[in-house]
Amino acid sequence: MEDFQVITQEEGEWTLLVVSGDVDIRTAPELRRAIIECVASGKNNLALVLSGVGFMDSTGLAAMVGGVKRSKENQGQLVLVSPNEQIRRILALTDLTKIFPVHDSVKELPRIDRRASGGPGNVGGVFGAKKVEVT
């Protein structure tokens, strides 16, 4: 079994959380913590890169659902990148495909239009706008 880890990196307007190892009752709290820390620091557009995840149970799904909620509350979004077939099957069976946009690669992530809701410094796009300071 591969050791669990979450590596955070920036990719344009997105914050990537590159997850590897199994996401289960033992490791899901670490994923949840990483998502919370990102949103708390103003990184609200999150892409969970799951190509390194071999297995995910319901606690992993719960961490991701909580991440969607936190991200949306802060005018952001959470998407999944490269989930394996087992994760895709679980998403379909639980009807979570309705809340998780899934992309096959980081290159497929949509651009986030920061001007769509009133000019520079606003986060536009799918979930509305929030005034943020641009540095």
- Domain residue limits, the chain: 5-108
| Mean pLDDT confidence for 70-83 | 97
Q: Tens digits of per-residue pLDDT, 46-75? A: 999 999 999 999 999 999 999 999 999 999
Q: What are the CA-CA distances from residue 112 to residues 51, 76, 120 (Å)?
A: 23, 10, 12
Domain spanning 5-108: which CATH class is it, in words?
alpha beta
pTM for the model: 0.81
Q: Tens digits of per-residue pLDDT, 102-130? A: 999 999 999 886 544 333 333 333 322 23
| 72 φ/ψ sector (left φ>0, alpha ψ -120 to 50, else beta) | alpha
Q: In the predicted model, what is the mean pLDDT of the chain?
A: 85
What pairing do the DSSP bridges indicate for beta strands 14-20 and 102-103?
A: unpaired
Nearest one of 89, 39, 92, 93 to 63, comparing CA atoms: 39
